[in-house]
Chains A and B, each alone.
Chain A
């Protein structure tokens, strides 16, 4: 049985995992000077779109519609990742970025989106989390979140904002070039 409180904790853990993926991509961008391509950026958006559903569960409480948000977000991200995998699946068609443990980031990304969809579907099987328990505390935004949930929400929101800043520096207000070689905003300086 999964109580609403346990469900919040599990959702916070998944949100932390997604934040970890975003942080890793960010570290790769700056430490290895690996500029993200437009499809890479859209996959990052996909992770935030999916994570939003888990954030809803942490802040408001578990609801089936929140898992729907996560699944839809992950489906969009998986679509983008699939497109990038197919772009490079034919031998000799090249690749983008360096591989990690034999697979490129977009392949790992596709695997992660599939795992998010499966995790959401598995959690949806436990209907007890959607029944209010006696004495359950009514949460009001972040003020009600505690411990793990608060940490996960903080990092997830911070990474979303930092990605917005980094994307602005790389592409300014226009569309990003297919093969970015520099940060457009810094080039002007």
Chain B
């Protein structure tokens, strides 16, 4: 157990280090954006004095490293600063939108993970049959389409033709849970279609890889049923690669919702990020970027820890 704790601790420390590096990258990246915020906000005709005063007020005249540490310090103490565009605290802007993004991503995960793992198991079980080929082909096609395309196809089909679900997913606090789920059906389905293929194919590949192990031959020669061999003998040993691909896709769900949120006008963090980039609202962009990065790293650490725990050799040392 001690060894596991040590490894987990190491992973977390590495994750924090990565996050620090990313914070530098985000800061530098945003600095490198062309155009000037003051001019963008005040307009082309503003006098140089007004621009200078504006810059001073926002501390844009200070050297970059000073601003970086001030920003990072603020971030660590929970003060994300204020939006440049409207002066409101960023925490307030981001908070409920981030919650909305997580809600959408979780809904997609709750559907896609079990479905794709079960489909992957079934495909491995019925390898090279028609069923396997149909699953492989259909998942491959959904993975090949860009998500905005999938989104518009779904809108055309389910909102325009069949009029089953709304094409605009605007959430509000007065909705019940069921209403919320109904509202996000289409964006959720889009995300499911995009990530499920990847997870399903990885599950199938991992299981098939394990099926050539001597202990699977042993299970066959013990006269066990094929379904039992796949579920009880192959799957536990395929957990590590499966967990990793699930984590990768969960992280993608949280981070990659941007386009889907825009298509469905969903009030999430991605939507805010896109708006803020257009408005050159640098502090909001930076904060959103860092939150996305933290989520991504967090999910990956979780996956690492889970796949360590799924290894019986590490869980039960000699």
Are A and B co-members of a single complex?
Answer: no
B contacts, CB < 8 Å to A: none
Binding site for B on A (CB under 8 A): none
